[in-house]
C-alpha cells in the first residue's frame, strides 16, 4: 500500500512540493478548530442573509442569465441539487485519478477558508472521499474555464448526492457504493452549497499542476539525454562554464549550466578530446543552458501562478462574514491558468525541439563523427533513421498544439458569460504535448547511449553511466535492425514515471 500524505486545511503552511506528493500518492486533509470556526461564521452569514428576504445570486435565484428569477424558500434545496445534476454534462475520457485527487484537495482548501458559506458537513464529506481514495468519475471535456469548471465539478459533486460514478483503487463503482466505501450518506445540499461546489477553477488548476509535475519529470530526463548527447558527440564543455552564464545573469541558465557540469563531471570521454581542434559545437549542444534554462524559468513562473490559484478562493458569490457582506465577482474566471498553460506549452515544445535536433546531429556522421544512423554496417542496417523521423513528427505535432488556447474565447449562457478563459483546453492539451516530448527524449536517450557505446571502452561520468545502465535495462544495444517501437514506448513511460528525475530534481519548481 502506498503511503498517505497528510495536508493541513490551512493554505499558509502548504507548499508546492506537498501538492506534488499528494499527486503521487493518497492524501488526507486535517481539519482544525480555526477552520471550523470560520466555516461556521460563513454559513451563518448566508442564513442571516436569507432571513432578510432579498434576492442573492445563486442562493435564492436562478443562475447565469436566469439570475433575475427568485426561487421560493421551500425550493432552495431543490435549486442546488438541480444545479449539480443539470450541469453534469461533460464528455470525453475520464480524468486521471491523480488529477481528481488534486481536484478534491483544491476544492477542500478553497471551501475551508470560510468565504463560501457552506456547512462543515459538506467539507467533511469531501474529505471522506479523499481519505478513502474514492475519486469521482470526471469527464475530461466540457468546461471553458469561466463561471468555474462547471461541468467537471458537477460530476465531482454529483457523487456526494448519490448520483454518477466513482473510481476506487482502479474499479469504477456506482455513487451509492462509493458513498458506502467513504462511510457517508447522500448529502442534502443547503443554500449556496451547490453553487460553491461548481464555481471554482479547481479542475483547470489540477490539470495544470498535473502537467507541471509531468513537465518536471520530462525536463529532468531531457537534461540527462542532452548530457549523454554531449559525450556521444564528443562535444565541448566550455559553453557550460559558470563565467559565461554569470555575466548574462539569468538564474535558470546558471542552474542548468551547473547541472550539466555536475552530470558530465569525471567523464573519460570528455577527457579524451579536451585538446581537440573543434572550435564550436552546433547550437543544440552548445546552447542547452540558454534554452533549457529559459524553459526552467518558464516552469518556475507558471508554478507560482498555479500554486497561488491552488490556494485561492474562486467561487461566487463570496461570503465575507466579518463584514456581513455577500459579494458577486469573477474569481471563477480561470484566465491566470489559461495564459500560464499556454506559456508552459511553449517550453514543452522547445524542450522537445532541442532534443530532436540533437538526435538529428547524432545520426549524421558529418556532424557527430559516429557511424551513419548509429549502427554498424549502415546500408544493410537503417539504424536510427526512422526513430529520428518519429521524433520530427512528435516535435511538429507539439508546435501545432502549442498554439494559444487562451485567445479562443467563445460566449456561453446566452451571452451572459461572454468571455471565457478556455483554461481547461489549455491545460488538457499539455498532456498530449508531454507524451510527445517524453517520446522525443526517449529516442534521444536510446540514440545517445548508442553513440557513447561506440566510444567504449571509455566511460562517461558516473552519473551518466548510471543513466545508461537504467536505459539499457529497458532496451539492449542496437546491433542490427530490429523493431524499436516498444523500446521507445518503455523508455518514454520511464521518463514520465519520474525515473530520471534526479539529479535535476533539486532545481525544479516543486523542490524550491
Active-site residues, by number, are 57
Helix (H) or strand (E) holding 227: helix 202-232
Task: Let me know if 258 is exposed, middle or buried by CB neighbors in 10 A (0-12, 13-18, 19+).
Answer: middle
Q: How far is CA 372 from CA 360, 377, 449, in A?
A: 11, 9, 15
Grid coordinates belonging to 455? 566510444
> Three-class SS string for 390-411?
HHHHHHHHHHHHCCCCCCCCCC
Helix (H) or strand (E) holding 310: helix 288-310
Residue 70 CA to residue 77 CA, distance in Å, equals: 14
Q: What is the largest CA-CA distance in the chain?
A: 87
- Give 289's contacts (C-beta < 8 A, 6+ positions apart): 239, 240, 244, 245, 253, 254, 256, 257, 260
Q: How far is CA 79 from CA 124, 195, 213, 407, in A?
A: 22, 10, 38, 34
- Give 462's contacts (C-beta < 8 A, 6+ positions apart): 266
Grid coordinates belonging to 10? 490551512
Write b or e for each residue in 374-385: b if 16 or more Cβ atoms lie within 10 A of its Cβ, otherwise e. bbeebeebebbe
Which is nearest to 143 in space by CA: 194, 88, 223, 185? 88
3-state secondary structure at position 173: strand
List, in sequence order, the alpha helices (H) in 71-188: 76-86, 97-111, 120-131, 150-161, 175-182
Residue 214 CA to residue 510 CA, distance in Å, equals: 11
Q: Does residue 335 contact residue 423 with C-beta atoms inside 8 Å?
A: yes
Residues paired with 139 in a beta bridge? 94
Amino acid at each position: 500500500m502506498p503511503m498517505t500524505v497528510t495536508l493541513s486545511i490551512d493554505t499558509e503552511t502548504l507548499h508546492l512540493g506537498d501538492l506534488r506528493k499528494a499527486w503521487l500518492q493518497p492524501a488526507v486533509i486535517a481539519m482544525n478548530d480555526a477552520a471550523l470556526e470560520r466555516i461556521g461564521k460563513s454559513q451563518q452569514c448566508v442564513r442571516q442573509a436569507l432571513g432578510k428576504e432579498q434576492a442573492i445570486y445563486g442562493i435564492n435565484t436562478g443562475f447565469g442569465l436566469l439570475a433575475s428569477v427568485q426561487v421560493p424558500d421551500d425550493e432552495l434545496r431543490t435549486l442546488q441539487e438541480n444545479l449539480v445534476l443539470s450541469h453534469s454534462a461533460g464528455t470525453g475520457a475520464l480524468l486521471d485519478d491523480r488529477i481528481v485527487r488534486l481536484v478534491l484537495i483544491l476544492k477542500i482548501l478553497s471551501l475551508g477558508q470560510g468565504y463560501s458559506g457552506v456547512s462543515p458537513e459538506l467539507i467533511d464529506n469531501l474529505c471522506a472521499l479523499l481519505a478513502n481514495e474514492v475519486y469521482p468519475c470526471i469527464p475530461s471535456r466540457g468546461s471553458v474555464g469561466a463561471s468555474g469548471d462547471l461541468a467537471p465539478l458537477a460530476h465531482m459533486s454529483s457523487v456526494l448526492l448519490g448520483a454518477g460514478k466513482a473510481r476506487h483503487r482502479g474499479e469504477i463503482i456506482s455513487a451509492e457504493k462509493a458513498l458506502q466505501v467513504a462511510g457517508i450518506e447522500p448529502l442534502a445540499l443547503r443554500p449556496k452549497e451547490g453553487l460553491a461546489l461548481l464555481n471554482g477553477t479547481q479542475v483547470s488548476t489540477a490539470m495544470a499542476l498535473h502537467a507541471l509535475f509531468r513537465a518536471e519529470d520530462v525536463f529532468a530526463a531531457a537534461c540527462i539525454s542532452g548530457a549523454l548527447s554531449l559525450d556521444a558527440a564528443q562535444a565541448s564543455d566550455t559553453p557550460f562554464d559558470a563565467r559565461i552564464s554569470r555575466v548574462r545573469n539569468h538564474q535558470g541558465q546558471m542552474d542548468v549550466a551547473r547541472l550539466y557540469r555536475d552530470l558530465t563531471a569525471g567523464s573519460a570521454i570528455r577527457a579524451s578530446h579536451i585538446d581537440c581542434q573543434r572550435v564550436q559545437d552546433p547550437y543544440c549542444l552548445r546552447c542547452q543552458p540558454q534554452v533549457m534554462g529559459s524553459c526552467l524559468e518558464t516552469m518556475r513562473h507558471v508554478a507560482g501562478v498555479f500554486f497561488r490559484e491552488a490556494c485561492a478562493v474562486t467561487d461566487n458569490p463570496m461570503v465575507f462574514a466579518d463584514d456581513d457582506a455577500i459579494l458577486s465577482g469573477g474569481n471563477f474566471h480561470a484566465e491566470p491558468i489559461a495564459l500560464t498553460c499556454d506559456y508552459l506549452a511553449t517550453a514543452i515544445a522547445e524542450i522537445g525541439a532541442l532534443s530532436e535536433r540533437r538526435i538529428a546531429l547524432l545520426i549524421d556522421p558529418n556532424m557527430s563523427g559516429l557511424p551513419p544512423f548509429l549502427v554498424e554496417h549502415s546500408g544493410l542496417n537503417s539504424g536510427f533513421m526512422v526513430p529520428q523521423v518519429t521524433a520530427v513528427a512528435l516535435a511538429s505535432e507539439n508546435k501545432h498544439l502549442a498554439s494559444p488556447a487562451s485567445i479562443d474565447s467563445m460566449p456561453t449562457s446566452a451571452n451572459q458569460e461572454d468571455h471565457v478563459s478556455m483554461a481547461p483546453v489549455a491545460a488538457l492539451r499539455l498532456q498530449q504535448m508531454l507524451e510527445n516530448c517524453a517520446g522525443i527524449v526517449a529516442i534521444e536517450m536510446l540514440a545517445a547511449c548508442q553513440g557513447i557505446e561506440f566510444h567504449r571502452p571509455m566511460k562517461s561520468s558516473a552519473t551518466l553511466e548510471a543513466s545508461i545502465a537504467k536505459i539499457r535495462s529497458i532496451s539492449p544495444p542496437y546491433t542490427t535492425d530490429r523493431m524499436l517501437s516498444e523500446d521507445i514506448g518503455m523508455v518514454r513511460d520511464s521518463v514520465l514515471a519520474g525515473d530520471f528525475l534526479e539529479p535535476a530534481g533539486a532545481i525544479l519548481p516543486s523542490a524550491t
